[in-house]
Amino acid sequence: MDSPLLTKSKAFALRIIKVCNEVKREHRESILTNQLIRSGTSIGANIREAFYAHGRADFAAKLQIALKECSESEYWLELRIESGFYSDPSILNDCIEIKKLLIASINTTKANMKG
C-alpha cells in the first residue's frame, strides 16, 4: 500500500511520539501529553484500517474516525503551543495537512458512492 495518507499519518505518529517523549522529559507533564499521543497515533491506525474496509461506506466511516482523531490532535497541539510546552508550529501544520487530505478523501469516497 502506497498512499500519501498512510505515509504522512505514520510519519506524523512517529513525530508525535518524539514530541511527547520530549515534553514528558523536559516538562514532566503527562495528562495533555497522553491525550496527544493517543489521538496522534490513532489517525494512522484508522487510515490503515480503512484500507481493509468492507466496502466504500465502511472505508468512509474509518476515514471519518481518523478525521475526528486528527481534529482532536490539532486541539491538543494548539494547547501545547499556546501554553508554551512546545514551540515548533510545523507539527501543527502537518496535522492540518493530514486533515485536509482526509476531508478530500472522504468527500471523494462519498461522491463515488452516489454515482
Residue range 99-108, pLDDT digits in tens: 999 999 999 9
Indicate whether 26 pLDDT > 90: no
CATH class of segment(s) 4-114: mainly alpha
pLDDT of residue 34: 93
What single string gives the DSSP state of each residue in the chain?
---HHHHHHHHHHHHHHHHHHHHHHHH---HHHHHHHHHHHHHHHHHHHHTT-SSHHHHHHHHHHHHHHHHHHHHHHHHHHHHTS---THHHHHHHHHHHHHHHHHHHHHHHHH-
User: Per-residue confidence at 115, pLDDT binned at 50, 70, 90?
Assistant: low
Domain range summary for the chain, segments of one domain joined by +: 4-114
- Report the predicted TM-score, pTM, of the whole model to 2 decimal places: 0.93
